[in-house]
Amino acid sequence: HAEKTKQTEKLALVGELAAGIAHEIRNPLTSIKGFIQLASQKKGKDIPPLYIETILEELDRIDQIVGEMVVLAKPAPEIKRKVHLDKILQETVNLMIPQALIHEIELTLEIEPGLPYVIGVSNQLKQVFINLIKNAIEAMEHGGTVMIKASRRSGNIVITIADTGRGMSQETLRKVGTPFFSTKDMGTGLGLVITFRLIQNHKGKVCIRSEVGVGTKFKIIFPAGDESEQ
């Protein structure tokens, strides 16, 4: 039934990913191999720092891809509990402040008081917000603002993450969330795949609005927990 479908879905995703991983990991491996071959021809002479730098960068890339694969492949679903999103959002924003500061980006957080809890896994929810805020920051080259808001709407909690970044074209919008789709030089194209999965795992919905040169707004809707149990 539901479990079975989930399993099948997971297998399909794994298959889809496997093809991509082979490609995404082979590229850096090929370049690492090339630089090590070049270095080995330099018998006795100093190895140019550029070789080492490139090798380390490419290893980092593999490390990043494998790290994100681990998140995707995580087996046994973690136990769901009452999670207070105001706390999670505040913690996430605190985590992202250094990265925002470096890029001269302002992070604002506005939480409606008395927000109901959601049933979920706090680490997974944190991962969702980290991925979205990270993308928002990366969409702004010359400073800007990321506005994060959480409010209640009837039986739901609505979270919006809006940036004043470069925005997305129709084509990009269509492709986001496809494994390995990235428009960034150093992107893995796995962030939104993971994000959408985790939101789905919390019975949530996502809606994206974006305009090139103006910005992007992600709206996430989670069903609120039972308030009588608050």
Which chain residues interact with ligand ADP by CB under 6 A? Answer: 131, 135-136, 139, 163, 165-168, 172, 176, 181-184, 187-192, 216
Select the span of 27-35, 43-51, 63-71, 129-137 touching Mg ion (CB under 5 A): 129-137
- Applying CB under 5 A, which part among 2-10, 148-156, 163-171, 183-191 lies near Mg ion? 183-191
Evaluate whether 129 touches 167 at the Cβ level (below 8 Å): no
Q: At what angle do helices 49-73 and 191-201 cross, to 10 degrees?
A: 20
CA 141 to the chain's CA centroid: 18
- 183 touches which of Mg ion, ligand ADP, none (CB within 5 to 8 A by kind)? ligand ADP
Instruction: Pick the closer one to Mg ion by CB: 51 or 181.
Output: 181
Place of tokens 């605190």: 94
Q: Which of these ranges, 28-36, 89-97, 127-135, 207-215, lies near Mg ion under the rule CB under 5 A?
A: 127-135
Q: Do the Cβ atoms of 120 and 223 come closer than 8 Å?
A: no
- Reading the block at residue 108, the tokens are 């604002």
Q: Which of 229, 225, 228 is nearest to 115 (CA)?
A: 225
The answer to the question of residue 191 lying near Mg ion (CB under 5 A) is yes
The site partner of 182 among Mg ion, ligand ADP, none (C-beta below 5 to 8 Å per kind) is ligand ADP
Among Mg ion, ligand ADP, none, what does residue 197 contact (CB within 5–8 Å per kind)? none
List the single partner that 103 binds among Mg ion, ligand ADP, none, CB under 5 to 8 Å by kind: none
165 binds, among ligand ADP, Mg ion, none (CB under 5 to 8 A by kind): ligand ADP
For ligand ADP, the closer of residues 195 and 224 by Cβ is 195
CA-nearest of 63, 52, 72 to 179 is 72
CB of 17 to ligand ADP, least distance (A): 13
The CB-of-49 to Mg ion minimum distance in angstroms stands at 29
- What is the smallest separation between the CB atom of 6 and Mg ion, expressed in angstroms? 25
d(CA 96, CA 222): 22
Nearest by Cα to 128 from 107, 159, 167: 159
In terms of Cα–Cα distance, which of 125, 130, 127, 128 is closest to 225? 125
Q: Where are the beta strands (DSSP E) in the chain?
A: 81-83, 105-111, 118-120, 144-153, 156-163, 205-211, 215-223
CB of 149 to ligand ADP, least distance (A): 15
Site for Mg ion, rule CB under 5 A: 135, 191
